[in-house]
Amino acid sequence: MVVSTESLKEQLIALLDDKKAEHVSVIDLQKKSILADYLLIASAQSSRQLYAIAEHIGIELKRQGIIPIVDGTPPTDWVVVDAGDIIVHLFRPEARDFYNLEKMWGSIMSEQAETPTSAVH
């Protein structure tokens, strides 16, 4: 089954909401990075919830025909689920505050926007 990146993004956001993930952020990387089209970032209040959410994301991705790469094994406060065009970062709140990916990617995007394109003479 082939599913569009936009549709998969919406499904994963709904799954995060259903599993009670908190503070879900979506960072659009389309046309800005070859890393992925989107980063989804969310928080979980406990390690158990963190791993349950990652497991459910993995199940949904496999149902869509996508074999995810999951990085982060207990005990950790950060799990990454790489689905190719979408990368999901799941954090415990303390780790999310420490790594602050939203700020990092925001500054990268700002730098790219400020970089002048090559002038044609």
Q: What is the CATH number of the domain that holds 34?
A: 3.30.460.10
* pLDDT tens over the chain, length 121 residues: 568 999 999 999 999 999 999 999 999 988 778 889 999 999 999 999 999 999 999 999 999 999 999 999 778 899 999 999 999 999 999 999 999 998 887 755 544 444 344 444 4
Supply the range of the domain harboring residue 78. Answer: 5-114
Residue 115 pLDDT: 37
Is 120 contained in some domain?
no
- Tokens 């503070």, residue? 23
Is 75 contained in some domain?
yes
Is 79 contained in some domain?
yes
User: Is this structure's pTM higher than 0.95?
Assistant: no
Is 119 contained in some domain?
no
**Domain count of the fold of the chain:** 1
Is 45 contained in some domain?
yes
How far is it, in rounded angstroms, from Cα 38 to Cα 28?
A: 5
Residues β-bridged to residue 91 = 43, 78
Is 121 contained in some domain?
no
Is 59 contained in some domain?
yes
